[in-house]
Amino acid sequence: MTIRQFRVIFKDKKLFVSTAFMLFGLFAFGFYIFKDKVKTKSDLVEIDVKLKHYDFHTYGIKNDSYRYNLYFDEYKNRFQIVADFIDYFRQELFERTVNNGDTLRIFISRNDYENIMNQDKVELFGIYGKKKTYLEFENSIERHNNETPLYIGLIFIVVGGIIFYLNSDKLRRIERIN
């Protein structure tokens, strides 16, 4: 692709939008393909940890953004309950029954466990107390394997490709001029 063609793509709204669609689609598709493979409990590692502290914050007016982190004595990392799992997290019960210094049983992916020293953030799939469940790993696994990003990515790639193809005559004209 030449610099002239890139200029045409950036100036033409349809070509620009189609390119943006395809890039977004590739991002969503890549997000699905490259995330940790967690299909069953055997893809998780169970760890007993002592709670150092936690912070739960919800931001936003229309659409909430979440930052739910737990910190443990044994690790310097922050352990995060990702936004996809917030619906399954029993926050009120956790805040009512768990104190700093309590021992918890957590579940993280094998990949996170194997690379734990090289990561700032580790995703939590399950959180359990002595007799209480705060985040059930089965629910997290099911949500983690949701294929929506895959399909959204493919749809955006296809729609962007169709729009690009239908408007590519503008790029062909530049090739003929050169």
- CATH of residue 61's domain is 2.40.50
Q: At what angle do helices 169-177 and 3-11 cross, to 10 degrees?
A: 150
In the predicted structure, residue 139 carries a pLDDT above the cut 70: yes
Verify that 64 and 126 share a domain, yes or no. Answer: yes
**The two structure tokens encoding residue 39:** 């299909």
Distance CA 102, CA 104 (A): 6
| Residues 94 and 23 placed together within one structural domain of the fold | no
Whether the CB-CB separation of 137 and 81 falls below 8 Å is answered with no
pLDDT of residue 177: 56
- Domain of residue 71, residue span: 41-144
Q: Are residues 154 and 140 in the same domain?
A: no
Give the mean model confidence (pLDDT) for residues 88-100.
96
The dihedral built from the CA positions of residue 83, 87, 89 and 92, taken in this order, carries a sign that is: positive
Q: How confident is the model at residue 174 (pLDDT cuts 50, 70, 90)?
A: low
Distance of CA 100 to the CA centre of its chain: 28
pLDDT tens across 17-62, in order? 999 999 999 999 888 888 888 999 999 999 999 999 999 988 776 6
Mean pLDDT check: name the lowest of 2-6, 14-18, 121-125: 2-6
- Work out how many domains the chain is built from and give that number: 2
